[in-house]
Chains A and B, each alone.
Chain A
Amino acid sequence: DADVTQTPRNRITKTGKRIMLECSQTKGHDRMYWYRQDPGLGLRLIYYSFDVKDINKGEISDGYSVSRQAQAKFSLSLESAIPNQTALYFCATSDSTTGPFHSYEQYFGPGTRLTVT
């Protein structure tokens, strides 16, 4: 089974609708992230959470909100979807362990393709 799962994998919604994207992980990591990918723009950070009580805005948080329901779950909401939020959304996790040999690798889910019409 995948370590980081995202639901739904694909979603088409209309302008103005509220939509939630969900992310679950079985890696036991305390850090979770939401990124969006647009063609030719790479990935940009929307929100991140270093533990259940910690939520932080990323580079492009406007129009989005998040909820960290448990260590393993981090959901992203679009309160009122607009067409320029059409993108591929990725959830990622990482371990908070520090040390000279720790890579801080992030593990990515398969992505959710969201289309707002």
Chain B
Amino acid sequence: GEDVEQSLFLSVREGDSSVINCTYTDSSSTYLYWYKQEPGAGLQLLTYIFSNMDMKQDQRLTVLLNKKDKHLSLRIADTQTGDSAIYFCAKTTNQAGTALIFGKGTTLSVSS
């Protein structure tokens, strides 16, 4: 079945760039998303990219998509302590229409 994989932990220093990586198994046209979950809160959409795009930039966030390798990354420039959270990679499923399949989440820890 479809799968989304991401590393579980990333630790960076304040002011550095963070890069969170994600791979997926299905190559059909799809939307790919990055969601952020702060402690005790629900999920908030950070950004998304359609599979016919290579890159999308939104302020401090840059999403890169390598469709050949089925690899998605989220780069956060000038990482701040407020960026500490769990980041989920997700994609639309084939079987469930616009329902999402999620990676296990990457916990980003930012130290000052």
Query: Quick one: given A58-B96, A103-B48, are A42 and B42 in contact (CB under 8 Å)?
Result: no
Q: Report if A73 contacts B (CB, 8 A).
A: no
A106 touches B100 (CB 8 A): yes
Q: How far is the CA of A91 from the CA of B97 in the complex (A)?
A: 17
B97 touches A50 (CB 8 A): yes
Q: Which of B96-112 contact A (CB under 8 A)?
A: 96-105
A56 touches B31 (CB 8 A): no
Q: Which of A11-41 contact B (CB under 8 A)?
A: 31, 33, 35, 40-41
Query: Quick one: given A90-B43, A108-B43, are A43 and B98 in contact (CB under 8 Å)?
Result: no
Query: Quick one: given A40-B8, A42-B102, A110-B42, are A105 and B48 in contact (CB under 8 Å)?
Result: yes
Give every chain B residue within 8 A of A111 (Cβ-Cβ).
41-42
Chain A residues near B (Cβ < 8 Å):
4, 31, 33, 35, 40-45, 48, 50, 56, 58-59, 90, 92, 94, 96, 103-111
Q: Report if B45 contacts A (CB, 8 A).
A: yes
Shortest C-beta distance, A48 to chain B (Å), equals 5
A104 touches B92 (CB 8 A): yes
Query: Quick one: given A50-B97, A58-B96, are A44 and B41 in contact (CB under 8 Å)?
Result: no
Give every chain B residue within 8 A of A33 (Cβ-Cβ).
99-100
Q: How far is the CA of A96 from the CA of B48 in the complex (A)?
A: 17
Chain B residues near A (Cβ < 8 Å):
4, 8, 31, 33, 35, 41-45, 48, 88, 90, 92-93, 96-105
B99 touches A48 (CB 8 A): yes
B88 touches A42 (CB 8 A): yes
Shortest C-beta distance, A97 to chain B (Å), equals 10
A103 touches B98 (CB 8 A): no
Q: How far is the CA of A40 from the CA of B105 in the complex (A)?
A: 7
Give every chain A residue within 8 A of B105 (Cβ-Cβ).
40, 42
Complex: chain B residue closest to A98, CB-CB: B98
B96 touches A43 (CB 8 A): no
Shortest C-beta distance, A63 to chain B (Å), equals 19
List, sorted by A's number, 12 A–B pairs whose CB atoms are closer than 8 Å: A33-B100, A43-B43, A45-B100, A45-B101, A56-B96, A58-B99, A59-B101, A94-B98, A103-B48, A105-B33, A106-B43, A108-B43
